[in-house]
């Protein structure tokens, strides 16, 4: 392995730079050049890349985002784009490609690997949503939970002072991991996740019971992808991205308005949004992403292509990419039942 490409695709998250650093450091110990591909699959489509000098990654461990840039580009939207990706892989004279991404980015990687297009791929699972299968945790999740927990902690005092209901909208399209973990950690009074349809009547009845028992305020943590029993999504716009996803958002505002209208309790909402993605990674995510980067490069050197790195217990192991992207990992209902004990 003399030249190995690396790209980051999809939404950014804390820990991406630590993975890049781990790959480059391990590669330099084995006389391998790492080629940084700009803006995910878009960079491979447009042949935009440059070598990453080992010295250039010395101080990026603590930085959020990604020094390579990212995009939501899907080469499989057009057959000619897939052909272009393969052509540019060969033009760059790459021996292998490390792909860092979530469900969509790794979905492309899995297709390329399975179709035997001549691209040797090793994958690194990345998503703050923690919804990729075959790994106990993805890096970025811990940082997002810490940020959301601190935000909900801070809302307790203002909600109590004004005797309000505070609705906190947390990221999570199809899985409520961030909402559940941060809601439990910050003692939210209700936790609403995509895995369970919301019943507005039950929500309002719960809030009224709290008020009647002398509890003057309530905190509700809700995932951006949560839906009412009627099945209506709260969306920012109807347009789809390149992977066919509707852009979510607005459920916090909708829920707060409905609660106030039905209960007459003053209700406000807060949308945490991309704050959960930004800033420095937590110490847990710095260590995990570093281990993922080093392991990914080890798999490249061992020519174990078509695999992704994975956290199983305390061990970082290799699993087939298709195991990570075949089915979304949704919330453990046993954990949710534990959280429900504290709903009141």
287, 22 in Cβ contact below 8 A? no
Write down the H helix ranges in 223-282.
Answer: 251-263
Could you tell me the pLDDT band of residue 236, with boundaries at 50, 70 and 90? low
Could you tell me the pLDDT band of residue 233, with boundaries at 50, 70 and 90? very low
Instruction: In whole angstroms, give the CA distance from residue 329 to residue 136.
Output: 10
Spans of all domains in the chain? 3-139+281-325, 144-278
Are 3-139+281-325 and 144-278 the same fold in CATH? Answer: yes
| Average pLDDT of the chain to the nearest whole number | 92
Catalytic annotation present for 129: yes
Could you tell me the pLDDT band of residue 229, with boundaries at 50, 70 and 90? confident
Instruction: In whole angstroms, give the CA distance from residue 220 to residue 137.
Output: 25
pLDDT tens-digit series, residues 78-125: 889 999 999 999 999 999 999 999 989 999 999 999 887 789 999 999
pLDDT for the residue numbered 1: 75
| Distance, first Cα to last Cα, the chain | 58
Q: Which CATH architecture has domain 144-278?
A: 3-Layer(aba) Sandwich (3.40)
49, 17 in Cβ contact below 8 A? no
CATH 3.40.50.450 fits 3-139+281-325, yes or no: yes
Which one from 39, 129, 131, 285 is the annotated catalytic residue? 129
Percent of the chain with pLDDT over 90: 85
pLDDT tens-digit series, residues 275-328: 988 899 999 999 999 999 999 999 999 999 999 999 999 999 999 999 999 889
Q: What is the pTM of this model?
A: 0.91
More confident position, 85 or 234: 85
């Amino acid at each position: 392995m003399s030249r190995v490409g690396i790209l980051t695709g999809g939404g950014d998250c804390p820990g991406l730079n630590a993975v890049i650093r781990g790959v480059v450091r391990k590669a330099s110990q084995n006389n391998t050049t790492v080629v940084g591909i700009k803006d995910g699959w878009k960079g491979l489509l447009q042949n935009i890349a440059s070598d990453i000098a080992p010295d250039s990654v010395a101080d990026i461990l603590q930085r959020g985002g990604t020094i390579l840039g990212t995009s939501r580009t899907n080469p499989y939207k057009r057959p000619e784009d897939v052909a272009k990706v393969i052509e540019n892989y060969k033009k760059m004279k790459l021996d292998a490609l490390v792909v860092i991404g979530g469900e969509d980015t790794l979905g492309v990687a899995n297709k390329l690997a399975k179709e035997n297009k001549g691209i040797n791929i090793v994958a690194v699972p990345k998503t703050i949503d923690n919804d990729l299968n075959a790994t106990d945790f993805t890096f970025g999740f811990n940082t997002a939970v810490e940020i959301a927990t601190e935000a909900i902690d801070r809302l307790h005092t203002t909600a109590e002072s004004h005797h309000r209901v505070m609705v906190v909208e947390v990221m999570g399209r199809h899985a409520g991991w961030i909402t559940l973990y941060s809601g439990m950690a910050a003692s939210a009074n209700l936790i609403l996740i995509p895995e369970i349809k919301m019943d507005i009547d039950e929500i309002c009845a719960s809030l009224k019971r709290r008020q009647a028992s002398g509890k003057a305020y309530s905190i509700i943590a809700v995932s951006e992808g949560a839906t009412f029993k009627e099945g209506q999504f709260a969306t920012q716009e109807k347009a789809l991205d390149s992977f066919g996803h509707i852009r979510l958002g607005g459920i916090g505002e909708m829920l707060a308005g409905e609660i106030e209208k039905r209960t007459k309790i003053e209700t406000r909402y807060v949308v945490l949004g991309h704050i959960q993605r930004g800033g420095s990674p937590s110490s847990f995510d710095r260590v995990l992403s570093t281990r993922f980067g080093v392991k990914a490069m080890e798999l490249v050197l061992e020519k174990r292509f078509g695999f992704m790195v994975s956290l199983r217990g305390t061990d970082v192991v290799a699993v087939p990419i298709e195991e990570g992207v075949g089915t979304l990992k949704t919330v453990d209902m046993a954990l949710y039942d534990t959280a429900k004990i504290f709903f009141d």
